[in-house]
Structure 1
Amino acid sequence: MALSRVCWARAALWGSAVPPGLYVVRRLQFVRSGLTWGAPRSSKLHLSPKADVKSLISYVVTKTKVINGKYHRFLGRHFPRFYVLYTIFMKGLQMLWADGKKARRIKTNMWKHNIKFHQLPYREMEHLRQFRRDVTKCLFLGILSIPPFANYLVFLLMYLFPRQLLIRHFWTPKQQIDFLDIYHALRKQSHPEILCYLEKVVPLISDAGLQWHMTELCTKMQRGTHPAVHDILALRECFANHPLGMDQLRALQMKALCRAMLLTPYLPSVLLRHRLKTHTTVIHQLDKALAKLGVGQLTAQEVKSACYLRGLNSTHIAEERCRTWLGEWLQISCSLKETELSLLLHNVVLLSINYVGSRR
């Protein structure tokens, strides 16, 4: 009776019109169910901390892509010229990063299986060679950026001198063609000087037959005739020893050959000779790997790049003619010994100077 009065008083205070008996029954039922079955479970699902982190990261990435897309559209509408440069720069960074990852995989594979550079397949050898040159050029920019606030000056220099300071990944398609033409024009300036040295050494050749072959070759070059493979291979003995062996080349000859190979000539004679030997040896190793692969397995871009590396301005020559020229080069290169690599070095001029379509 006392309990019912208390419940009635609570109901009066809460403004409820529920009779006290019914409240007591429901209260007892609730207590009974709580004692028997425990507290009711919540129907709301809770994600694990890992799932929460993943969903947060996914959300951030999605929003970042949306904002980045809006930013690109804004630049494209209001600053079209800057947007072109920005796009090329970002794509260049992505390609350079991809090249670095690939070079790292190749190096790791070499270390695991104890493979030397000359034992690699052609494409991996060429990738490592080109990546080293690109990294060397990028390191120069990094050194320039070390002083405080020098990075702003570096960006200005990159914009003003893209050919000298940037690698091919950051060039526009038009710049790639123009810059390759400029580089070829620079190395072409050394061709007459190299041919002049070949004429001067004719009296120094002891063998009369070799003297005649050298004179005939120089005459053909001056007349604009493209030499045959056997005409060049007939002189291999002259380039193995005195006077045209790698160790017998004079300083002025080496400087001219460095310009023909797009190497810096402003070094002491000892370093010039070492660089020429190293560079020619790498090309010889690439030629052997390419001969195993076959010229027919290369893409059009790979063929043109291989020809340009070996002295031919392939940017304005048809693909089939480039393949023919590259086949002639491989025929000469694979016939030479290590002591005759000076002929391969001079072959950059001999085989390319009068080739059809290369006079630009």
Structure 2
Amino acid sequence: MRALAMQRMAMGFLAHQQGTLTSVILTSTKVPHTCRSFSSGMTKSDDDNGPRKELSPYQQLQKWLQPFVQGSRAMYHENKQAWHVRAKLKQHQQTATTGVSAVLTRQEMMILRQAHRDLLKALPLLAFFCVPLVGYAAPVIGYAFPKQLLPWQFWRPDQKTQFFSEDAQAKAAHYPELRKLLLQMDRKQHNVEEMLARNGHEGLNPAEVGELVPFFDRNGPAFLDTLPRHHLHVLSQSIALMPAFSWLVRLFPKNMVQQYLERRADELRVDDLMLLREGIDGLSLSELEFACEERGIVTGYGNIDALRGALREWLSMYDTDHVDAAAPQCFPSSLLLHAPALGRFSNAQIDTK
């Protein structure tokens, strides 16, 4: 309730400071869908192919402020929906015996995961916006640093593609070191080395990744709880939610890093199950970009067919012909987290030299 109250307070100050201008924008703007389907951030005039009229200073200011107003509204509705999902989940847990993934859709699960993260990311700038007079500089700061200071609701479609691609590339920069660490562990059995050599060191076919389960399970050398501290740090940076700040993981104790990695693996595991159950054909471009960025897939951003193919290859790690929601196929957490560095998605090559 406190987070929702803070969001409503920020929206109140936003409407108060923008005055008549904000009222005009709000009344003329359609509320974007916030179930992690990513609003387009485009107005009708952005799609017109005809000649464009020169905008007056007032219209230019209105157009410039529109993403901030839309983003604030979208974030408010996302948190509002999150409260409804939590209430639904609480009611289900009191009566049902099935798991969470059986009662929630993937969009509801994404809202439950992302709403508080989006709010926390935007909260400093929203709080600064509430400061009289100097708060008017908040949109300027947000406009200059949207990736660092604003959640996805405030991004334009081209910015989403750019930012997701940049984050995926930042994660992929740690793949060569991660693969070298695995090869050092594989000096006795040479399973990983032989499989990589068989594929020309370009990465494994995703369908082959499951063959490495013994190497990553409880009795294997790459079990998550037995990985050395440096390996855990590199692994955390390769799947970080915010790669720009992933270096902070080095400041935390080893057990906290392990818990963080377990949570990330659980999130990917549940999302994979839901994608297998619901399919990926109905996902929008931005939803596909978000899903691929989370999994560290570095290819195809901006191309919906390429992203869908890459995500389908990721899901081919599972036995897609026999998907059982009651007893889903479950990979070891360590294997799931290392999969982006081991697999080859849509012929994306990773240098290991």
Partner in structure 2 of residue 85 of structure 1: 64
Structure 1's 299 and 160: CA in aligned 2 closer, same or farther, altered over 3 A?
A: closer
Partner in structure 1 of residue 168 of structure 2: 184
Partner in structure 2 of residue 240 of structure 1: 217
SS of structure 1 residue aligned to 2:213: coil
Aligned-pair identity in percent equals 22
TM-score norm. by structure 2 comes to: 0.69
Distance 1:270 1:333 in 2: 29
Structure 1's 79 and 261: CA in aligned 2 closer, same or farther, altered over 3 A?
A: farther
Deviation at 1:94, TM superposition (A): 1.7
Partner in structure 2 of residue 199 of structure 1: 183
Distance 2:58 2:347 in 1: 44
SS of structure 2 residue aligned to 1:313: coil
Partner in structure 1 of residue 101 of structure 2: 118
Query: Quick check: which one's helix share is greater?
Result: 1
- Specify which of 224, 234, 238 is matched with residue 256 of structure 1: 234
Match status 1:216 vs 2:209? no
- Specify which of 294, 302, 312 is matched with residue 327 of structure 1: 312
> What pairs up with 1:244-323 in 2 under 5 angstroms?
244-263=222-241, 264-267=246-249, 268=252, 269-313=254-298, 315-316=300-301, 318-323=303-308
Structure 1's 183 and 107: CA in aligned 2 closer, same or farther, altered over 3 A?
A: same
- Name the larger-Rg structure: 1
Structure 1's 314 and 101: CA in aligned 2 closer, same or farther, altered over 3 A?
A: farther
Specify every segment of 5 or more residues in structure 1 that has no aligned partner in the other structure, as ranges.
Answer: 1-63
Give the structure, 1 or 2, with the largest relative contact order (CA under 8 Å, sep 6 or more): 2
- Code of the residue aligned with 2:212 in structure 1: it is L
Specify every segment of 5 or more residues in structure 2 that has no aligned partner in the other structure, as ranges.
Answer: 1-19, 29-53, 320-327
Q: Deviations over 1:211-242 (max 9, x none)?
A: 2x311233357x45342244311111111134
> What pairs up with 1:15-30 in 2 under 5 angstroms?
none
TM-score norm. by structure 1 comes to: 0.67
CA contact 2:161–2:286 (8 Å) conserved in 1: no
Indicate the RMSD between aligned Cα atoms, in angstroms: 3.5
Structure 1's 257 and 153: CA in aligned 2 closer, same or farther, altered over 3 A?
A: farther
Q: Deviations over 1:315-356 (max 9, x none)?
A: 536434433332332242567536x1210100122225x633
Structure 1's 146 and 278: CA in aligned 2 closer, same or farther, altered over 3 A?
A: farther
Q: Deviations over 1:258-295 (max 9, x none)?
A: 22212434231222211111011111011112212123
- Specify which of 339, 346, 349 is matched with residue 355 of structure 1: 346
Partner in structure 1 of residue 330 of structure 2: 337
